Structure 1
Amino acid sequence: MEQTIMVTGAAGFIGYHVANHLMARGDRVIGIDNMNDYYPVSLKRDRVRELGFRHGARFEFLETDFSDWEAFDREVSDRRFDAIVHLGAQAGVRYSISNPRAYAQSNLVGHLTILELARARRVRHLVYASSSSVYGGNQSLPFRVEDRADHPLSLYAATKKADELLSETYAHLYRIPLTGLRFFTVYGPWGRPDMAMWLFTSAILEGRAIDVFGEGEMRRDFTYIDDIVSGVIASLDNPPPDDGLEKAGGSRAPHRLYNIGNNRSEELTRMIALIEESCGRTAARRLMPIQPGDVRDTFADISAIERDLGYRPTTPIDVGIPRFVTWFKLYHRDAASLAPKAVPAGIGR
């Protein structure tokens, strides 16, 4: 049965792919994005154009800011939708140190706006983006959803943890089915220019040196975009039940949290080697100290989402990185310069 899904952050990396998949299977999408300039808006507009070209009338795009709740409410007042996939947020760990107010507005006020919209419309399910950053400096690997996550190392991580707490409250008070997804480092075609995969590929193809933070001794659970999308869609299609069972502290809220990762922690140096191989060039490397807000290792325990939804990633970095580099070359083949301008570098989450 055809549904209409609101997707926030639809001009973003994950939002583009989720919207594309939903429409490819027959759903309609109302895409929301404020098109901010954290990274080049041209890439966001290219994603939106691609969605419109591929799906026509199935796709409606609204350029609006969901953190401005009065304007947003007016914009969507006459739209009807069945569920929400809330992927819009101010991204980036290091940028949160230099521009904290953007994170408070988008990630806290904005998330509350979406929760209020879900409550008012009584949507069947709200799936929202959290982050592996919430685990902070957790020394126990792999990260499990049952682990404590109350020592964030960046404001970005703190806002994502706050979103989970706000969601738990709304699920408890208003019985709205909610699912939070802790994404681990996502990469692939149409990716973000502030992420290491993009920055390294751009530099290597141009013959520039790359900055390797953490002296190269960092590990990430790199997750290919197709695997992320399969987890988002599986979560959307399976809202948590509201069984009303009692437990200590009150009734069990219809709210679930899942890790979505590749279930493998890869060395940063291996990622760089695969990019070099795909580019046919060797990188000049500058070893740099770990940056404020970064963590040294991430590794996703995906047993919960695997058990509940049958999620299992299928794309190792040996396959995913060459796909990304191929797309990158095609996307930039007519560009005068591959380097993004004024974009903070980062391995990302």
Structure 2
Amino acid sequence: MMVYTGVDGKKVFSVKYNPLSRKWSPTSKVGRKICVVPSDLCFVKIEKAFTQKLSQLKGYYQIEISEKFGKVKWDLSLHQGNAIVGVYKNFSVEGCQRVDLELFSLARVLKLLEVDGYVLDLGKRKTTLVRVEDGVLKSYRVLLRGGDYLSSLANPEKPEEGERLKKEKGLELKEVYEGFKKLIDSLNMEEAPVLLSGGGAKLKGIMDFFKKTVENPYCEPTYTSAFGASLAPIVKTPYPDFVQKELSKQELKLLGISFFAGLFVFGFSYFALEKLWSVDRLREVEKAEFKKLFPNAPATALREQVLTKATGEEPFQLTLKLSELSPNLKEGIKIYSIEFSDGTLLIKGEGKEELVRQMKTKMVKRTPLGTLEFELELR
């Protein structure tokens, strides 16, 4: 009998699993610990893989991840032609036999319940939305506003009194209702079943806010993430697991040969480059050559753009949209969020009225300070 324990901060949930019968059930025992990495310390990217060879994909993403995030922990998996990349940072793994990104933990619970829809995790300091389609994570959003934000709306002067009012009246309190509605509106949720998770799931009146909610019979909403992590070795999902794989003798031999060959090439390249070119000079030449071949494309994310052009994939749409966006933004405009989905770029921000009125906005709203909040959409 195996025991797996999901650990989400101070919240712990364990299951016992019989590998012979493949049956599991909750238990009070503590076993192999699988620690949940909070969603605000995670990054997940799901996109069509240009190859089905993991070694080539890892080489490509190693460069991209190191450039964007620096030194972080990351892993990669393949699923139905898509590459699923998971990244996390600033998380201590002491006492953990394994880690699981919170986004994967939450999505795994809907997989278990055989429901396609959303998991809305309402925490104290953040709100996480996960969308699941065909049993797999499709998309996600993380907002750095949660229960504390709603409490501050209930009583801005006295947080403790605001927390009491929030717990007592919930969405019956006008300020809390409007703050919660603003959070949900910013998530752009479509009509679909919703599993409520986290401490905020107990908010009075929250069940009436959604047309269809999903019941999780296995645990309280506050334990959803820990529960999902405890299921990682049991419920089959295609996510990266951050587990160091054991290499065979043949793989170790090939790795040794590759290491010494790579060391030789690296040494030669290092001294050659030191003599001939600096890295900055190489990047300047790289951009110049790219502009010669593709004069109308912005010289950003060169490797990804060249890859899509070389493999016959669609153009790098996000870069094109950002280049279209640039002329629309005037100095003094503040950008709050940039969302890109299904070829559409949605920008939310704020600025002086005379600046915002010059833009072709989708929506504007006056603020108490006299400025205008806006949404700008590029299709």
TM-score, structure 2 as length reference: 0.25
Q: Which has the larger radius of gyration?
A: 2
Q: Which has the higher strand share?
A: 2
